[in-house]
Structure formats: structure tokens, C-alpha cells
Amino acid sequence: MTKKEVLLNQEAYNNVKDNRDKVLNDPYRLTYHLMPPVGLLNDPNGLIQYNGVYHVFYQWNPFETAHGAKFWGHYTSKDMVHWVEEPIALTPSDWYDKNGCYSGSAIESDGKLYLFYTGNVKKENGIRESYQCLAVSSDGVHFEKKGPVLELPEQYTAHFRDPKVWKKDERWYMILGAQTLDEKGAAVLFVSNDLYHWEELGKIAGAGMNGIGDFGYMWECPDLIQLSGKDVLLVSPQGIEPNGELYNNLFQSGYFIGKLDYETLHFQHGSFKELDRGFDFYAPQTFTDESGRIILYGWMGMTDDLEPYQPTIANNWVHALTIPRELEFREEKLIQKPVEELKKRRKNQIVIEGNTCHGESAELLIEVLSNGQFEISIRNEAYLSFNGEMLTLKRRNIKTNGLEARSCKIAAVTKLQIFMDHSSLEIFINDGEEVFTTRYFPNPKDKKISIQGEIEYTWTKWDLG
């Protein structure tokens, strides 16, 4: 570890210590989500189960609640329920990552844990440089930087980042988010035999390819997975205009389903589908655990104009990650379901009589017995309604104080699973057919939840500790 790295890490730890009481006493601090100990958190990184232990790394600015030179924070767990904060994994301390250890992924090889990430460099003349870098660990906690293993190809701008690496047929593959010289988003594939030397294969998808059309000026956080015999490309495109109930956040996250020919690089795929219908979901990443499940985490945040108004900033922290979600296929659609392990957090089960209950860190399970219109009021700050064909989530805008909405079309609502956590909501409809994720900031004293409408239903509540 270099002297600069030691000094930066110590400064970060001191800031955590100095702000600990302020952060922990924030009424909007979450109970069962991963958050920064101080400062700003964004993308989940390096998701892996290594030697039986789950690892979640994340983009972290420990010095302020704004985007700056990112570190990699690190949590571990044996059960995805109880988490341990580990030492800083990556520090922006070298010439190739001095302005940020940007997002990336993790793999295991020969018993060691390998982290791939983008080193961000900003020159004094304003020119940006990006390098795809490697760090290696023998214990999963302490990492040795190996420096850049891939430099910027000439046909892309320096917006070239977020390496996701996997193994197929004894070869290693890396997919990267990119911007072409004519400012079109793309996903680019590379191959390696040893993890240190990479050969470009080419673009597999992007704006203007395969009938996509003009679809964003930059594609971030690509992730290519195999599920039920299909290839699924998850990606977070930037620069898509709203289209009715679609694409209403500043940036989007979604997926293409198809089949990739690794020899010809032809990726025959369907249309882009959004992963989440809420206000705060971006930069998801997946990993495959030892049981074969594909599990996803997302960033429960957005770099929009509301970000500086989040009330937790007054207590020197902002943003969180989603709960872990298992991915499945259902009728040519990606389904997200809370992982089974989260049931271990349930306590104080109540089968609710009537249309009102109270909670702030809880799970609600609502079984809808008859189709019809309804509205659920959550702490008088968020409202979920169904009019027979459109499901809508409204919340108070923290900048304007007015209500804002996100919607999706759905034929019927038969089941709602709502995860509340002080200042977050994750709503799973019909066992993951649709998902709404959002932050919201109710009056801490208001814990009332109520249902109004034409439906028959049963509902159960658990506190989540």
C-alpha cells in the first residue's frame, strides 16, 4: 500500500468516525439496506460469492455528499442478511485512477479474488482518460493493484467504463459500456486467456444497431448473463427521451433478451425493457451464487436535479443499495423477486383486520382477491393506485413539494409485496412482474398505512429488523 493510499484511507476513516453519531441518528437512516457509513454511495460493484461469503462493493465518496473521486467501499455477509463493513478495497491514489476508482466487477480464479474497475483520470486541460484496471486479493479483503490491463480503443471517447467479466468455454470475456466518436451508446466485448491481456472483439449492441435506432449517447454498466438458455444484456443507457409512461427518469436501466453468437458477435435480440418503474433505480449488477441463482443489486438513487435536496445530506450521507433480488424468466420477461434469505428478518407477524396499519421498517404482503380499483397510502407521503389498467406510484417531490408520478400498464394486480425501510420503498407486483423502487421522506412520526378501494384483500405485516 502506497503512502498516498494510506493517507487517503486514514482521512476517510476519520471522516466516518467524526460523523458517526450524526449519521446513525438520522431518522431516515435505513434498517436492512446497505448504505455508506458517511458521504455518498452509488453503483454496486464487484458482486460475488467468494469462498462461501457474499461480497458487495460499492462506489463511495467518503468526504462529501457529492460525486467526486470514488473509492470502493466493501461489505461482506455469510447470509445476505447480516453484513460486516470491511476495510476500503480500492483507493483513487495512482496515476491511472487518481480521479476515481469507477465501477466494475469481480471474479474468482485459482482461489484468488480479482476486481476489474475503471480508472478515471482528469487532466489539467480538462481532457479525460479512462483505463480498465485490475486488483487481486488472496483473502477477499486486502487488494493489490496491478494497474491498467486495457487502454482506450481509438474508436471510442473516454466515456468507456464499467467492466463486467465472466468465463465461458475456458476463456474470459469482458463487456464495457462505451460512447462512440459520434456520441452513440454501445456495449463492447473483449476476450482474454489470462485476465491480464485483452483483445477487442467488437460491439455487440448499441444505438443504431439491430434496429435499436437512436437510443442514448452513453451506455453504462453493461452486464451479460445467461438465463433459461437465453442471453440477457442488462444496460443503463443515458440520453433517452421520455415516451408516455416509459423512460421518465433522467437515466434508465433495462435489458435486451436474445442470443449472442460469440464467433460472429451477432446479438439477435428483442426490444429494450425497463427493469424498474420507480423513481430511484440505476446501475444494476448481477452475480451467480454457489447455488446457481442470479442475484441483482441496484443503486437506489439517481443523479438528477433532486439529488442535492435529499434531507439526509444534512447528516452527511446520501443514497443506498436495493435489497438483493433473484432473477427469473416468465413469459419472455425478466422477473425480480426478493431473495428468500430476507424472510429471516421477519418478526412480529400481524394479519391485519380492517384497512389501516402502522409501520416504518416493515414488509407488507397484500393478496388481492377481487380485481378492482384501489389506492394505498403509505405514511401520507407515497401513494400506490390502480385504475383497472394502469398502476401508478406517486410521491412528494422534495424540491417542489408537489406530487410526481411513475406508472406502468398492467392487466390485473393479484399480489403486492412492499418493503418499507424508513425512507425507501421497494414494491413487487404479482411476484415480480413489475417493480417500483423509490426513496421518500415522510414525517418520521407518521407511520400510517391505509387501503381504500373496490377490492377484497387480505394483508399481513412483519417488522423487519
One of 3.40.50.300, 2.30.40.10, 3.40.630.30, 2.60.120.560 is the CATH number of 345-464, namely: 2.60.120.560
Q: Is the pLDDT of residue 434 over 90?
A: yes
**How much is the average pLDDT of 346-359?**
97
- Count Cβ atoms within 10 A of the Cβ of residue 52 and give its class: 0-12 exposed, 13-18 middle, 19 or more buried: exposed
Encode pLDDT of 293-341 as tens digits.
999 999 999 999 999 999 999 999 999 999 999 999 998 899 999 999 9
Task: Please report the pLDDT score of residue 390 as a whole number.
Answer: 98
Q: Which residues are paired to 218 by β-bridges?
A: 238
Beta-sheet pairing, 390-396 with 382-386: antiparallel
First to last CA, the chain: 38
pLDDT band at 408 (very low <50, low <70, confident <90, very high): very high
Encode pLDDT of 213-240 as tens digits.
899 999 999 999 999 999 999 999 999 9
**How much is the average pLDDT of 22-26?**
97
Q: Is the pLDDT of residue 1 over 90?
A: no
pLDDT band at 401 (very low <50, low <70, confident <90, very high): very high
> CA angle at residue 97 from 95 to 99, to 5 degrees?
100
Q: Which residues are paired to 132 by β-bridges?
A: 118, 150
Phi-psi region of 13 (alpha: psi -120 to 50; beta: other; left: phi over 0): alpha
Distance CA 166, CA 115 (A): 12
Task: Please report the pLDDT score of residue 25 as a whole number.
Answer: 97
Q: Using a CB cutoff of 8 Å and minimum separation of 24, what contacts does 326-330 make? A: 326/293, 326/294, 326/295, 326/296, 327/225, 327/227, 327/286, 327/294, 327/295, 327/296, 328/227, 328/432, 329/227, 329/228, 329/230, 330/432, 330/433
Q: Is the pLDDT of residue 371 over 90?
A: no
One of 2.115.10.20, 3.90.960.10, 2.40.40.20, 3.40.50.1360 is the CATH number of 3-337, namely: 2.115.10.20
User: Are domains 3-337 and 345-464 of this chain identical in fold?
Assistant: no
What percent of the chain is modeled with pLDDT above 70? 100
Distance CA 315, CA 460 (A): 34
Order of strands, sheet of 415-421, starting from the edge strand that comes earlier in the sequence: 346-351, 457-464, 361-368, 415-421, 424-429, 434-439
Task: Show Cβ contacts of residue 290 under 8 Å, excluding neighbours closer than 6 positions.
Answer: 49, 52
Distance CA 125, CA 241 (A): 32
Average pLDDT score over the chain: 97
User: Which of 79, 89, 175 has its CA nearest to residue 132?
Assistant: 175
Task: Please report the pLDDT score of residue 210 as a whole number.
Answer: 84
**Using an 8 Å Cβ cutoff, are 427 and 393 in contact?**
yes
- Count Cβ atoms within 10 A of the Cβ of residue 171 and give its class: 0-12 exposed, 13-18 middle, 19 or more buried: exposed
Q: Is the pLDDT of residue 38 over 90?
A: yes
Sign of CA dihedral 237, 243, 247, 248: positive
Q: Is the pLDDT of residue 124 over 90?
A: no
Distance CA 446, CA 422 (A): 11
Number of H helices, E strands in the chain: 1, 35
Grid cell in block for residue 236: 443503463
The full set of domain ranges for the chain reads: 3-337, 345-464
Residues assigned a catalytic role: 43
